[in-house]
Structure 1
């Protein structure tokens, strides 16, 4: 695989996939998503891969969509095509992770914000370093996301609080809400994830894959319908004043002025 934005290593049935854009806190671009999907597709058909660990290089797991350059030379931003923009955005990767018939462990540290937060939530288990800050910060950017997975994890009212406010929360708070499985010190997190990954590498992966499908199908509406609806709303959002204002304010390093339109 020819990868510019990821580091991939295989050992003892464990594939470790590291987001490798530390200078931008591993912010997501279309190219990152393409590479992630390529790696996960390979995992699906590679019998030597039994479990996947997803982590980030540098100071953060993932700071979300790259508002400075989501589009790239390889995959430019589809201007004037909001539905296409929503379809090729990060939400497509939610299904890629949840439909993979192997366990996926997120090892999170630093920040997991916006799309990066949703990316972690889409994994099967989450291990967070104590200092980690989570945040579905879409509302603070005049954007939309997080609606497909979060309500299935913590319920309607708490999901509304986190999504409407866009406020950040700690790893311990995420653990108390049932989002994060384990919280450990930065020094202990590698050992803890490694322990669980080796355990799953020796587990009946085929059965775990069937369990994943059954679990996702049983949580209210199917994940597919939830993601499809999120895409539809995202497409509408791209043409709003507040969406453009949120990005502009971020890039200009000022407080946004949202008008509700």
Structure 2
């Protein structure tokens, strides 16, 4: 994985940890940071040694305060509407690609995640937070629209509507209660808990984990019979289940049972 100006990249126990690194502005998501993050995620997806991707922010105050408003203000003057539309399309496509990343993604929510950072966090598979964690889906407060396809998948339609319509702050305890956080731990335990889960995922059969995520994503909106048929099709034509000798080598070695003659 390449070196970046605004993203720190670590690799540990099969986990790529990507840290948004602009702590002096609460990791505000400039075009440059966003582009580097998208590239780092793609690189991690292409790395056979990586089984899980963790995204976090530098410092102890913010995962990210959201979009870089100063840069957006400058862009409104510098670029034409067509150019701004192109940049917006690229940014939102990147959000989709992150959500559709074949490998599991976890947000290590070390602080506030407002606006564009809330959108980013809702695009991830899981989130682990601490007492500093809080979310705010701000689009309705400033005349924009986002998170309509990401947030309902995390917290369900009624709660997603409330959070998107109201643009209110969601504190850590509520985020955990409604499923926006998978786990809520003390700040000093955040990295350990995140890495414990990420490493557990990374150690599992890579094809199985990727296949499970792909099937889950394909199944959104399908009825139960279609979901069943999709799994049967995938496990028949894409990745057949491992035979017993491959799936349970430690058990077989420990028990030492021979096959019947």
1:99 counterpart residue number: 100
User: Where does residue 235 of structure 2 map in the other structure?
Assistant: none
CA distance in 2, matches of 1:46, 1:108: 24
- The answer to which of 181-190 and 26-35 deviates more is 26-35
Residue-by-residue CA offset, 1:86-134 (whole Å, 9 max, x unaligned): 2022x22332222222111110022011110111111111000122111
Quick one: distance in 1 between partners of 2:71 and 2:205? 41
Structure 2 contact 122–147 (Cα < 8 Å) conserved: no
Partner of 1:187: 188
**Which structure has the larger Rg?**
2
In structure 2, the gaps of 5 or more residues are: 223-261
Note the C-alpha offset of 1:40: 1.4
Match of 1:49, SS? coil
8 Å contact kept, 1:18–1:55: yes
Aligned counterparts, 1:82-121, within 5 A = 83-89=85-91, 91-121=92-122
Alpha-carbon offset, residue 72 of structure 1: 8.6
CA contact (8 A) 2:106 2:128 kept: yes
Task: After the TM superposition, list the runs of 4 or more consecutive aligned residues in structure 1 that deviate by more than 3 angstroms.
Answer: 70-73
Paired residues in the alignment total 218
Find out whether 1:212 has 2:213 as its counterpart. yes
Alpha-carbon distance in structure 2 between the residues aligned to 1:35 and 1:118: 17
Cross-structure match for 1:56 = 57
Structure 1 unmatched runs, 5+: 222-261
* Residue 51 of structure 1, CA deviation: 1.3
TM-score normalised by length of structure 1: 0.77
The match for 1:12 is: 13
Give the equivalent residue in structure 1 for 2:171.
170
Q: Cα–Cα, structure 1 residues 116 and 56, in superposed 2: closer, same or farther, change >3 Å?
A: same
How high is the TM-score relative to the length of structure 2? 0.77
Alpha carbons 1:102, 1:206 under 8 Å: kept: no
Q: Is the 8 A contact 2:108 2:129 kept in 1?
A: yes
Contact (CA 8 Å) 1:19, 1:55: kept in 2 or not? yes
